[in-house]
Amino acid sequence: MAPDLRVSQSFLARQGVANGSSVGRVTPHTPLSEVIVSTLMEMPAVTECSVSGCSYNDHSSCHAAAVTIGGSAGDASCATFIPLGTRGGLDKVVTHVGACQRAECSHNSSLECTADSVRIGAGHDHADCLTFSPA
């Protein structure tokens, strides 16, 4: 049986919450698994991936738990891209953007993507973030 982990007072304090209050629906009694799922669902979803040569792609849907957007100046590549050879990913499509290293993107705030959703497809690299928009 998994331990019953709860959100600690120190976690809430780091979020700037006074003792005894809450962050949205997160309180000291909220199970940690609920906080993780809630946080994941707030991240932008990958609504499409047209890169058929990626191990995580299945019928234009990414099956990685989360993708990282990397690349170089002016180019936003999917750093999670892995060429075919080994099938990877989850059974369900729940992919979100975990991190975005493209600080110059208009959707980037503190290296987190703020777009409603993103599309991955062919571009400069094997797989690029087609939602990338220079600020």
Instruction: Render pLDDT for 91-120 as a digit per residue (tens, 0 to 9).
Output: 877 788 989 999 999 999 999 999 999 999
Token pair belonging to 91: 């059974």
CB under 8 Å to 36, separation ≥6 — which residues? none
Nearest to 35 by CA among 58, 53, 17: 17
Residue 76 pLDDT grade (very low, low, confident, very high; cuts 50, 70, 90):
very high
Residue-range domain boundaries for the chain: 9-41, 44-129
Average model confidence (pLDDT) for the chain? 78
The CA-to-CA distance between both ends of the chain, in Å, stands at 48
Tokens 């497809």 found at: 121
**Model pTM greater than 0.85?**
no
> Cα 20 vs. chain centroid, distance in angstroms?
30
Residue 128 pLDDT grade (very low, low, confident, very high; cuts 50, 70, 90):
very high
